[in-house]
Amino acid sequence: MSEKFQHILGLIENKTAKLGVVGLGQVGLPTALSFADTGFSVTGSDINKKLLDNLSRTVAPFEESGLSELLQKCIHNNKFSIANKTEDLILICDVIIVCVPTPLTENIKPNLSYLEDVMKIFANHQLDGKLVIIESSIPPGTFENLILDSIQKTNTLGKDVWSAFVPERLAPGSATREIRTTPRVIGYHDFDSGVLAKKLYQNMVSAQIITTDVKIAEISKLVENTYRDVNVALANEIGLICENYGVDFKELQSVCNSHPRVNLHSAGPGVGGPCLPKDPILLLNPQGKNAIDSKIIRYARAINDSMPEHVVDLVIRGLSHHGKSVNGSKIAIWGVTYKANISDTRLTPAERITSLLVQKGSKVSVFDPFSNESFDAIKAHDMWDAIAGRDVLVIVTDHDVFKNADLDTIKSKLATPIIIDTRRAIDGKLANSKSFTYLAVGYSGIKNETKK
């Protein structure tokens, strides 16, 4: 073992290594603060100056359970600070963790521009004795091409610089808890980098840490979310089949899931968030190579993307049952975030549902206790204001506050008693018993029209 390796290993083991986190978003900030909370001194950088301003005033830039408290604690203990430029952070840190986004372009291809910008900075800096970790989700092949090429401009991997891919596994809403309890994967190209990365994460993660070849790590991250996306698509498709048979998806789901090897996911309004709609696309677009085709992954994406249209069809069906047309109707939407009890609206199905309804001539009002986003619809003051005088209530997100909301109050506010419950937040049978027209993905409360 070289002296340089021994030195960085010692710094990591006794937590005197200075850590830097590049990109302080929904992955980077919980990562930076969680390492700071274990005793490391952590510096963060970001290109978003407003976000840095907020952080320096100890204001958490987004809603995440426990994040605000952690931020206050780490700033108070002098364990977390901000660098105005990534260049400054590289100069002072021994370990640098990159957590910048890798979104999609408008034509649905991986957009690596944020990562490329950061790697350009690395390529222009002396990285002698440092460990560079990549947490951003990347198309397979990116580590060996882009990352290693950049960090080896001035140094040699395994000799005077080390690097590993450690895919983030943070679910918005439970990030600060799950970061310590979810097993982690370390992908390495040279063995010593794997050893250093494992030592680093052992300081913070109480769960298993698996080391593997970097290509497996790259692919595994994307397969995990593709697995979920495909399973949700299957659930959505089964939901549509249930509507045809006139049976209740939820009841079917609980019957099927009594089998020890079946885990039928929940049907709903479609799939949103920063990960599931994107990672299957990264999986099929290897870095520097031709795209791969996969029918099941492509169809799953298409099914999930089509669900907002199905929700609008349910709205139209509910209205026509009452002799009303969607054009000129008044619709209320409860929930704009992509899943329950978080403030994140990225790629949320609520956006498409709202815009389709507006296109069809509906007047739409929305309410979400976690977000001010309204997608150009009317923003209501509260959940009851949102439904006052409306023809249809569409529940798009199952925030706790919407679950089992009082049906008598809903009925007294709505102009027409129609509920489209995309998340099964309300008891459908109870709603039917109170003379609501209650429809859900996989629950056709109205007698099936396609039945022969």
Build a one-symbol-per-residue string for 339-358: x at contacts with ligand SAJ by CB under 6 A, - elsewhere. x-------------------
Strand order from edge to edge, sheet including 437-440: 378-379, 363-367, 330-334, 392-395, 418-421, 437-440, 443-444
Using CB under 6 A, pick the residue from 102, 155, 163, 225 that binds ligand SAJ.
225
Specify whether 256 is catalytic.
Answer: no
CA dist 267 and 232 (Å) reads: 7
**One of 130, 275, 278, 324 is an active-site residue; which one?**
275
Q: In b/e form, how buried is each residue of 250-277, taking b as 16+ CB within 10 angstroms?
A: bebbeeeeeeeeeebbbbbbbbbbbbbb
Give residue for tokens 């372009």: 105
Specify whether 339 is catalytic.
Answer: no
Q: CB neighbours (10 Å) of residue 156?
A: 10
Q: Does 172 bind ligand SAJ (CB under 6 A)?
A: yes
Q: Does 171 bind ligand SAJ (CB under 6 A)?
A: yes
Please name every residue paired with 184 in a beta bridge, in sequence order, or none if there are none.
Answer: 209
**One of 79, 130, 199, 221 is an active-site residue; which one?**
221
Nearer to ligand SAJ, 192 or 351 (CB): 351
Q: Of 37-45, 85-93, 152-160, 222-230, which segment contacts ligand SAJ by CB under 6 A?
A: 222-230
| Dihedral sign, Cα of residue 234, residue 239, residue 244, residue 249 | positive
> Minimum CB separation from ligand SAJ for residue 86, in Å?
22
Q: Does 179 bind ligand SAJ (CB under 6 A)?
A: no
Tokens representing 430 are 């109870």
Q: Does 224 bind ligand SAJ (CB under 6 A)?
A: yes
Nearest to 278 by CA among 144, 105, 118, 124: 105
Helix or strand or coil: residue 128? coil
Build a one-symbol-per-residue string for 128-167: x at contacts with ligand SAJ by CB under 6 A, - elsewhere. ----------------------------------------
Using CB under 6 A, pick the residue from 268, 318, 428, 442 that binds ligand SAJ.
268
Bridge-based pairing state of the strands 437-440 and 443-444:
antiparallel
Using CB under 6 A, pick the residue from 232, 383, 386, 420 that binds ligand SAJ.
232
Nearer to ligand SAJ, 190 or 305 (CB): 305
Q: Does 272 bind ligand SAJ (CB under 6 A)?
A: yes
Nearer to ligand SAJ, 275 or 284 (CB): 275
CA dist 216 and 218 (Å) reads: 5
The C-alpha R_g of the chain, in whole angstroms, comes to 24
CA dist 163 and 258 (Å) reads: 45
Q: Does 330 bind ligand SAJ (CB under 6 A)?
A: no
Phi, psi of 272, deg, nearest 5:
-125, -165
Q: Does 228 bind ligand SAJ (CB under 6 A)?
A: yes
Q: Does 375 bind ligand SAJ (CB under 6 A)?
A: no
Q: What angle do CA 250, 256, 261 make, to 5 degrees?
A: 135
Q: Does 324 bind ligand SAJ (CB under 6 A)?
A: no
Size of the site for ligand SAJ (CB under 6 A): 20
Nearest to 303 by CA among 225, 232, 253, 357: 232
Give residue for tokens 């206050």: 72
Nearer to ligand SAJ, 143 or 338 (CB): 338
Nearer to ligand SAJ, 191 or 299 (CB): 299
Using CB under 6 A, pick the residue from 28, 44, 273, 280 that binds ligand SAJ.
273
Phi, psi of 324, deg, nearest 5:
-115, 155
> Minimum CB separation from ligand SAJ for residue 352, in Å?
12
Q: Which residues form the catalytic set? A: 221, 275
Q: Can you give the binding site for ligand SAJ, defined by CB under 6 A?
A: 168-172, 224-225, 228, 232, 235, 265-266, 268, 271-273, 275-276, 338-339
